[in-house]
Structure 1
């Protein structure tokens, strides 16, 4: 009880001189093991009452008989002896200080020590009540465990659980300690502790030590493990040191000794021990001697690969600092020193940096003087000389430079001469002493003294071996590097010429030759060029011929030989290709054999010398030279000691035939050499009890016929077999134990024990040599029966829902 009696007044008697009451909080001894405490129990209160004979346990007379029941009013534990063979006494006591349960289980009540001086045979049923408020699992998971003192192990003796009355039943053959236990189904809890120098925004700015601890109230901890990727796990044994900077995710969990695995937990550790790095970017035109010749823009960018930059600051004197927010400009001519640095979110401060800049924005001015013989359209007909002049009113002219390509520049020292045909370009500019460079000035000098050139482009589907596989479109182009092309001409015989104005389409198959030339705007005529091309637009054709032994329904009943032929009248056949079924294309090099049974598809095509791929054709070739295979299946059969097949009038005989290619067309059978019968459905033997020869075969749709097979069976009358043994049977919630009989019929199984009978219909039978296996269903549920036979006896073992049996015949 949670609270015992409390006496403040009145006179009470708490014992009768021999024994008194049982007290939950009594902790005295019982050295003579008579169930009475060696010391008295002091009753709380103001009257100082005393129980001189406190009861630790009761002893119960246990007399001869069957189904002898003992109920202890102190513990509410009950025992039912199947049979008492000699009188004695039985005692039941409880304690909480006995052996702990097996790993993975926790006590769900008190430990009961049960002993008897009576002699007994057979089993004892033990009933122990439980308090559903003291358990944390489903009531159906509770177990009664029996402690074996000699082996030091617990044994599960649970029969069933009465969840309505909170009583658990067990079955034992001996006495010692008994305990109701509940399984440990609760996983442990793991805790993580991080130790390191903490910065800002959740970042550490030092190495971090990780310590993992775990707790489990029942089974205790088996191991703690951790992982850095959630896949590969390591057993935790000592604190971990994380030195690497960045984000580190650690996964961790524990398992208790009951095998309960905790759900994965994870923690992200952020470490940043490195200060940020700031770079300055100056946008502007940089001249000579480190001068900028334009206004400049200052941009500060900081990189921190871990915690990221918090802010950047800059100063023009290294004393007064301003927080940087955006690009800023410097526009006046002058010199400046810029100081700058950054701090990251973890609190790391960068060392101060500086940059020195100079600005001068005024450039010099330049122009040119050109001399030479001029022609038409701004073209010069002779060499050209150019003089360059430049001036600067600020820092003074340093030098003039010129270039022919705006890439490679030369310093100007005197007149520049041009004597190359074409458009010549001169770039020039002046540079002052501050490094200001004048905007580039450009002059063009055009000279033309070279004849034009012509070229041709053939457009169409390009095949192979210089063949086209379509109409060809001819495009003639002219090129004159100087004054430009005025006119293009072409001819098919080099005598009659036409003016080219648009692409020329050639449709005729075979070979064609075309001549062409260009004329420039100065009247110069280019060289005559020519080209030959070939056209083949017709696809090649492919045919197939097949040779083999023809069966039925378009099936071949032998290997077949395949011959392929291709035809092309223009460029000629290059190769013939084929592929079998879903295989790869193969080059045909002569007649080949097809040996694969089944429905084969051969796909063929030809390719001519121009690269034309002929139409693909698919041909279906069916081969089946293997006869079908037939087996005789028999239900409800058995074998005797000589392995003869035994059947009854109820046994079904069924022909099962397989043909993997053309398929089974018909199956036939006959009995004892009678006329052949076409098989349609299963059949039974109807004659007298005797030995029968069953012959059978099948034919497929290709015309293949199977060799005749045969099976000998022995027709017998339905039999029954009795087995004597021991078992138990549960009917309507009542259990019956003891000597019993099991009878095996052809279609049913029957068990009798005391006056009770239960029957099952056989639903399946398997024969494995000397072993027979039966399964059946009845009002009492499903049963499985094993029968083993040797030369002298047959042995049976059966079990199922509310039934088990072992015996022999």
Structure 2
């Protein structure tokens, strides 16, 4: 049997990565091995003389052995795979080439790997230092600088060295911005030279150059700010980057106008004197501008607000300053211009001032001073002319005086612009004599210059020249009234003023007459000061104050009397004490009128009522009642009389007294009672003690030896009383006399043999008693003589409370209803 051994560097998937040395061996346990033969890849058989070497490729080695006996074994076959050469990878780049090694589009990189031995297992790729990945298809590279690493591995496990590929992609042209420095005007114009700065950026390959041209001229390389002067200009510019990208051309219009426009004015109107126009003036404004053109013309009148000019400006009356200026489309405004325009289209106005005492119907009642005045709001008055009664025209030089008579005055004025007003005409009448008025009076005269009836006044006026026109009067400074007949004056201090006027308007001085009239008597009243109680009564002394009023002549005096006594003059407040009173009062005024007497009723009660009680019932001892106690309350009040009485028991609620009432509840009671009179006075609260014993004493316990074998025998008891309390105890034996044991609650008795009846009497504070009985049997008498009785009193404190007995007593007596 033969075997083969292979020695070389093992790879993956059964492949060797180096030449392989083969070793054959054989054994034969009987005749021994004679020959060992092999062949490679189906070639000639070769005797095995020692190790043989296999190189790259996939080989088949066949071998067998034969022994000395001539026997040959079956042929063995083994396969040997050898790959000593790693794969090789190539990269293919697809994209638009730019300048300086840059691509100006996205780049697609394709990888292709070959291996002539074991074959390619996988291709690996890494982009920009990222994670390695198995190549599955073309890699797309976008904007930026990229480094692509790649390699391949074959089936045998051989890996080629890592390849590195740098690719720069810039598919975006640069961006150029322009900034303008200059004084901005209007409508896109600049009003100064303009400096243009170009700034270009390219985030990838970087800017290579910036080019520009002006007004479609030659392209120039931008090296610094560009200066533009007067006119309209077109600036075009663009930039190129290192990769060769060229941006789209930018175009910008630049308009420069640094010169303002020039305006002028034309005036038309009728000229008068001294440079004045005597009609409205029309002003026409024009302007020119050689560059941007005129945008607007503005004007203002007399320093007012500027207004845009759109038609001829009309200037009316006055002294005017017309300001105007023009602005071009670039916003340049010329220096303000102005022209003075004087316009007066209105004639002057004159008037005559008449100074004198003007009466009625156009007449003056004094000499009249004539003053002529004229006004002209625009150019001013040049002169005034006048004449009297169709005489010669005179130039007015100052005021003049006219005396009594009738005159016709004519006058007119002329202004500085040459305008003359129409003549004015006025008539002047003068009369200086006044009428005279007298008054006659009738009425009833009282005292102190007063009238006690209405007063009638009749006025009479006369005038020696033109006659009386009207007579006027007024009362107490009121409105003036035309006199039409006698004037009736009513109450009060009245002042009558009167005067008359004549037809010429003269008015006499005002006459004044005073009248004191009082037709109403005074009114007297009494006011009371005191503490008001109930039912119109006063509960204190009352101070009476008398007062009187008289709206006209005033109070002269007051008289009064008390309770129908004599009349007396009132000198000041007086006081009334308790009782029912009447005060009569009247007053008289300064005019001698007396008022009617008035009466005031005054009821005064300053003391409360007194109340006493009476108690009836069955009297016990020590002031106790041993039956219901009936209480009767009696109140008295000498003033207003008793209104009500109330009482309460043991501090409880107050109860209105309606008649005698009973106290049935046992115990010591405090009765309080008081009354209120009709004036509201409350009397003092009275107090009385009412003690009612509603039950007798009762035993709580009574004990002793029922069948004693020897004497003495102790008898013990306890008793109670709910109202007046236990006052003491008495004891007797076998119908003997009761003897007192005081407050002791036990007794020691020496009794003879036999049956005995012991009785204990309990006495309460009201004198009532209750007897308790106990039977005692003595079985063996003592040696004491028969009938002798030895009494030993033991003062023992408290016995046990017989609860059952107490409950029986409570059930009999009923619940305690005392109010607290």
Q: So what's the TM-score if we normalise by structure 1?
A: 0.33
Greater CA radius of gyration, 1 or 2?
2
TM score, norm. by length of structure 2: 0.33
